[in-house]
Chain A
Amino acid sequence: MNKTDLVKIKVPGKPEFIKVCRSAALATASLAGFDVDTVDEIGMAVFEACKVVTCHGYDCWCSEYEMDIRTEDDGLTIEILSSGSHTVEKDCEICLDCPNEGDLGISIINNIMDSVSIENTDDGGKKITLVKKNAR
């Protein structure tokens, strides 16, 4: 029987809240039975994906965004979705490491996840979808 669970998190666009998404992803991946290294890496991918969706290419961080994690028997799918409203100023510790880092971040997400897709949404926002299958 197909067992699906859905976790939904909505967070302010401020960069300090990215870790909330990361924590939720770590805990959910752990419940989904991924191995410890994969759990750690899913956390890394989510962190980078949040930046991609909420920050890269914009002058400001978006005001709010949402992460949905769907777990299934064979793995999980994470969708991170921002609205088009970008109002939070860029002025933070995370940004110290960020300029020109975008390419490496995307490469890493692609390396960790089984599939990655990024699209623009109708309201001017972005959506990134990450899929990871559980090998067991």
Chain B
Amino acid sequence: MRDKELFLAYSKNKDIETRNRIVEKYLYMVDILIKKYLGKGVEYDDLYQVGALALISAVERFDPEKGFEFSSFATPTILGEIKKYFRDKGWSVKVPRHMKEISSAMGPVKEDLTSKLGRKPTVAEIAEAMGESEDTILRAIESSAAYGALSLNQTFDDGGEEGAAAMFEKFTAKDEKGYRDVEDYEIIEKVLSEMTGTNRYIFKKRFVEEKSQNEIAKDLGVSQMTISRAEKKILERFARELAG
């Protein structure tokens, strides 16, 4: 094991100086591990700090007696903290922060205006209420940002493509802050932005307006089976992207 003596010395004394010497030797790991997350709108310094802190914690917890290489031990810890950092930021870092705020705020603003006006608000009215340009709101509609948080309360066909449904459910499950994993969000966003016609309509009715397949079928004058098939295709689309 590399640096075994150093580690043994540290685990005996737990003194900060030894700890820091070890950390310095392994800082190169942080650079390697954060590479994948650079250029996504998050500052290098922030990422590096998160990684370095995780490295320190790994050094403190490492047991040299177990016989493992420290780098193998530390990698998941460092990666875990970096991923958590992205998740805690609550959003895809590729989405401009501004668009993220629009997306979160638009739903409640729309609800609020709807009850005040007694009808659904126009793009202009929403723009004014949010202090944004109409163009920005239009852009939100054009992409999928206008849909905000997705509904989780849908039950999927039992007879459907279980893999696809389960995958979709898993990746749209959110904690209090938003999508669970920034990479998953980007995938969902990508699929959503490519859905512009029939699939977008079904998606919106099911997962944004929370309508049942039966309700949608009745509205459209088609069979529930038709809606079920369309939904299945949508889920498969997601599954294809998520599987990479």
Contact = CB atoms under 8 A, between A and B. Distances in A.
A99 to B, nearest CB: 11
Contacts of B196: 18-19, 22, 43-44, 47
B222 to A, nearest CB: 5
Contact-residue size bin, chain A (C-beta under 8 Å from the other chain): 20 to 34
B126 interface: yes
Nearest to B227: A104
Interface in A11-60: 18-19, 22-23, 26-27, 30, 33-41, 43-44, 47-48, 51
A40 B141 contact: yes
Interface stretch (A61-69, A78-86, A105-113, A122-130): A105-113
A103 B233 CA distance: 15
B120 A40 contact: no
A84 B138 CA distance: 34
B153 to A, nearest CB: 20
B173 interface: no
A34 B138 contact: no
A104 B198 contact: yes
A-B interface, 5 closest residue pairs, ranked by CB to CB distance from nearest: A35-B120, A47-B197, A30-B123, A107-B220, A48-B197
Interface in B130-189: 134, 137-138, 141-142, 146
A93 interface: yes
Given A26-B142, A107-B220, A108-B220, A33 B124 contact: yes
Contacts of B198: 44, 48, 97, 101, 104-105, 108
B219 A44 contact: no
Given A97-B233, A104-B220, A104-B226, A35 B142 contact: no
B221 interface: yes
Contact of A97 (B110, B120, B121, B199): B199
A41 B203 CA distance: 12
A40 B219 CA distance: 18
A87 B145 CA distance: 36
Contacts of B226: 103-104
B22 to A, nearest CB: 51
A25 to B, nearest CB: 11
A80 to B, nearest CB: 13
A26 B137 CA distance: 11
B194 interface: yes
A136 interface: yes
Given A22-B196, A26-B142, A39 B220 contact: no
